[in-house]
Structure 1
Amino acid sequence: MKAAFITGHGGNDVVQVGERPGPERAPGEVRVRLHAATLNRVDLYMRDSGAGITHRLPQILGLDGAGVIDEIDASDALLQPGQRVLLHPGIACGRCEFCLRGGDVLCAHYQLIGEHRDGTFAQFVSVPARNVLPLPDDWSFAEGAAIGVNHLTAWRMLVTQAQMQPWETVLIFGIGGGVSLAGLQLAKALGARCIVTSRHAGKLEQARALGADHVIDASREDIAKTVLAATGGRGVDVVFENVGEAVWPAAMKSLVRGGRLVTCGATSGDQPGADLRRLFIRQLRVIGSTLGTVSELHDLLAFCQRHGVRPVIEQTFALDQVHAALDRLESGEQFGKIALAID
């Protein structure tokens, strides 16, 4: 089958498009003929080093995807060949203590497609049946692919971890990136007031069009002071953060007493100052989060259909153009998801 894969670590020179063996479907698995995948920051990380992630080379990239069921167990009563589907990227063991109490995203033996096993930048992928969900009829394959990582991550951050309420205010850093944009869409649908930051004026205007209540130009405004001014000196209830070290001081100073900071990334560094005095005196909570469970993805899909939330696809590239797609993601200029169309 045709696929985009890494042969080593470095730049785009280690990313090749060519033939790879197709996946062998095991009993209980579903083989999906993929039509779209979207790019995530981890694709750049796997290309650059993949440090700390157990993988073999060559490795097919891609965490999320959507397509059509190609092959399935005849006894499966919920899915059928030819059905349009999207994927949950996390493969859980189903037997460890975390899986047994419903926390499959905490599985002690968790594997992610595109990291620990071959991913979705390919014509076919095979995953356990529980990882395959019906794609809404009016969604494109690219939209279906996009929801399985960024929107799922944002959903767990806001709903499960931060337990955000409709009357609360959330500060979202780095609007335009996939997770932050998903956070804005979901927070607005949940009824929250949203303050967003970016260093790009154009992205802030696009965020306004999507419902952002207040925008902060991080290239010229002091984020914490602007947040306090916008909230009458109170601060926000929730900080939605995936940048890390560069914004941590502003994030902590922007929180109301008893507020929650939920984080899923550290693109600017993972060793910020702890600001412990502020943490305990103001009784703040710092919550880590990543991805989400299969059950949460089902809930998210139902919520999106009920509230009309759909992923924003900025640009679609052919699989042969994966280098250009990676360059676009690496530039940080995108507003929305970058997709690959897989012929």
Structure 2
Amino acid sequence: MTLPDTMRAMVTMGHGGPEQMVWRTDWPRPDPGPGDVLVRVGACGLNNTDINTRTGWYSPAVVTATSGSGHDAAGAEEPSWGGAPIAFPRIQGADACGCIVAVGDGVDPARIGQRVITDNWLRDPTDPSNKDAAGYFGSECDGGFAEYTVMRAVNALAVDSPLSDAELATFSCSYSAAEGMLCRANVTAADTVLVPGASGGVGGALVQLAKRRGARVIALASDSKHAEVAQLGPDRILSRAPDDLRGALGSEKISVVADVVGGPYWPQLIDVLERGGRYTCAGAIAGPLVTLDLRTLYLRDLTFTGSTVIDAQVMPNLIRYIEAGEIKPLLAATYPLEQLHAAQAAFAEKRHAGNIVVIP
């Protein structure tokens, strides 16, 4: 196969607003190095991680909700999610789905032609369990907002599925984040799990993956999105933020809150946890600063867990779930890659249910 020397790509030039994403039709196509594969991208999903990295939201100086705009408090040298600045220009996009078209030294040529999705976590090959050394695809290296992308062969996970590239591009980030949260909270069939923001990518994944574990699931979502959320199989759906959450739950005993929302409503989420309950978190869409009465934490024997760098088995397990048809995508919309600005604007407005994907 003859490959072009250049490609179309959306290139992020620095921290800031959407204007930092520049459309290029002549960007050099990367070559796979030793241990790498070159993937022709079929689709790439949008995630909060991409926007938060561009805007500088991970900076400790930023205390507002995620919005998709540049944050004035975050300078160019502020750290990204991992606590260190990233290099620009950078092609973002974590959730790439595509086909391997070339391999680097040390990679079996038989992999050419495989359809793959990304395991986004770039682990130290000499110590994969070292979470301090982990990087993220589309952050510490170029990602999938382009016609071609290079990734480590170990991060290109073969998938055999009738789903479209766009549907498969909804899984890697959202579903791995959700499964990581449920692993940290040790969710089992004995649990009742409350999922705020259940219409979002991670929220919808939490609903499905908690149900897969046999748990009872109660979803919180805007009334206009209840029909879409119902497709994911929760046992109950409540309004996004009931004035009296305890009253709305009635006799339900919540053993786990799986949250990526945070913000001003957060104290009510904690207040409904039963004694010995667990709170697990992998985001703060509505705002990172919350109020906690420490007496609630210790007098009710609660456990709080954060989840970012997932355990190594999470993505291979997700591949199994996908191939077995145990989880399904909730694809909200697709956009051409050159319309990434409009796609991210729609993503930030949160009027959709599920995931938004761009097509190179």
TM-score normalised by structure 2 residue count: 0.86
Distance 1:239 1:26 in 2: 43
Q: Is contact 1:60–1:120 with CA below 8 Å preserved after alignment?
A: yes
Residues 7, 76 of structure 1: alpha-carbon distance in 2 compared, 3 angstrom cutoff = closer
Distance 2:23 2:254 in 1: 46
Match of 1:125 among 139, 149, 171: 149
CA apart distance, 1:90: 1.6
**Structure 1 counterpart of 2:232:** 210
Match of 1:272 among 267, 290, 295: 290
- Structure 1 unmatched ranges of 5 or more: none
Structure showing the higher helix proportion among its residues: 1
In structure 1, give the amino acid aligned to 2:317. D
User: Secondary structure, in 3 states, of the residue corresponding to 1:59?
Assistant: coil
Match of 1:223 among 218, 225, 245: 245
Q: Percent identity?
A: 30
Aligned residues: 329
User: Secondary structure, in 3 states, of the residue corresponding to 2:285?
Assistant: coil
Match of 1:289 among 283, 291, 307: 307
Residues 170, 133 of structure 1: alpha-carbon distance in 2 compared, 3 angstrom cutoff = same
**Structure 1 counterpart of 2:198:** 175
CA apart distance, 1:207: 1.6
CA apart distance, 1:341: 0.9
Distance 2:334 2:186 in 1: 34
Q: Does 1:8 align with 2:14?
A: yes
TM-score normalised by structure 1 residue count: 0.90
Q: Is contact 1:149–1:291 with CA below 8 Å preserved after alignment?
A: no
Distance 1:248 1:181 in 2: 19
**Structure 2 counterpart of 1:111:** 135
Aligned residue runs from structure 1 range 226-305, under 5 A? 226-227=248-249, 229-231=250-252, 235-305=253-323
Distance 1:193 1:33 in 2: 40
Aligned residue runs from structure 1 range 177-192, under 5 A? 177-192=200-215
CA apart distance, 1:257: 0.8
CA apart distance, 1:176: 1.1
Distance 2:176 2:41 in 1: 20
In structure 2, give the amino acid aligned to 1:154. A
**Structure 2 counterpart of 1:30:** 37
In structure 1, give the amino acid aligned to 2:115. R
What per-residue deviation string (whole Å, max 9, x for no partner) do you get for residues 48-104 of structure 1?
Answer: 2364122222211211101010111475459511111111112111234xx2xxx35
Match of 1:164 among 187, 195, 205: 187
Residues 73, 209 of structure 1: alpha-carbon distance in 2 compared, 3 angstrom cutoff = closer
User: Secondary structure, in 3 states, of the residue corresponding to 1:266?
Assistant: coil
User: Secondary structure, in 3 states, of the residue corresponding to 1:60?
Assistant: coil
Distance 1:149 1:34 in 2: 16
Residues 218, 23 of structure 1: alpha-carbon distance in 2 compared, 3 angstrom cutoff = same
User: Secondary structure, in 3 states, of the residue corresponding to 1:26?
Assistant: coil
Residues 133, 267 of structure 1: alpha-carbon distance in 2 compared, 3 angstrom cutoff = same
What per-residue deviation string (whole Å, max 9, x for no partner) do you get for residues 253-302 of structure 1?
Answer: 11111011100011222221232111111101001002524421111221
Q: Is contact 1:25–1:126 with CA below 8 Å preserved after alignment?
A: yes
In structure 2, give the amino acid aligned to 1:11. G
Distance 1:220 1:111 in 2: 38
Distance 1:79 1:224 in 2: 56
User: Secondary structure, in 3 states, of the residue corresponding to 2:313?
Assistant: helix
- Structure 2 unmatched ranges of 5 or more: 1-6, 58-77
CA apart distance, 1:220: 4.7
Distance 1:79 1:225 in 2: 58
Distance 2:277 2:265 in 1: 17
Residues 17, 208 of structure 1: alpha-carbon distance in 2 compared, 3 angstrom cutoff = same
Distance 1:253 1:240 in 2: 14
Distance 1:187 1:95 in 2: 33
User: Secondary structure, in 3 states, of the residue corresponding to 1:175?
Assistant: coil
**Structure 2 counterpart of 1:46:** 53
Distance 2:105 2:21 in 1: 37
Residues 173, 291 of structure 1: alpha-carbon distance in 2 compared, 3 angstrom cutoff = farther
Distance 2:87 2:105 in 1: 32
Structure 1 stretch 66-75 or stretch 39-48: which is displaced more?
Answer: 66-75
**Structure 2 counterpart of 1:146:** 170
CA apart distance, 1:111: 1.6
User: Secondary structure, in 3 states, of the residue corresponding to 2:111?
Assistant: coil
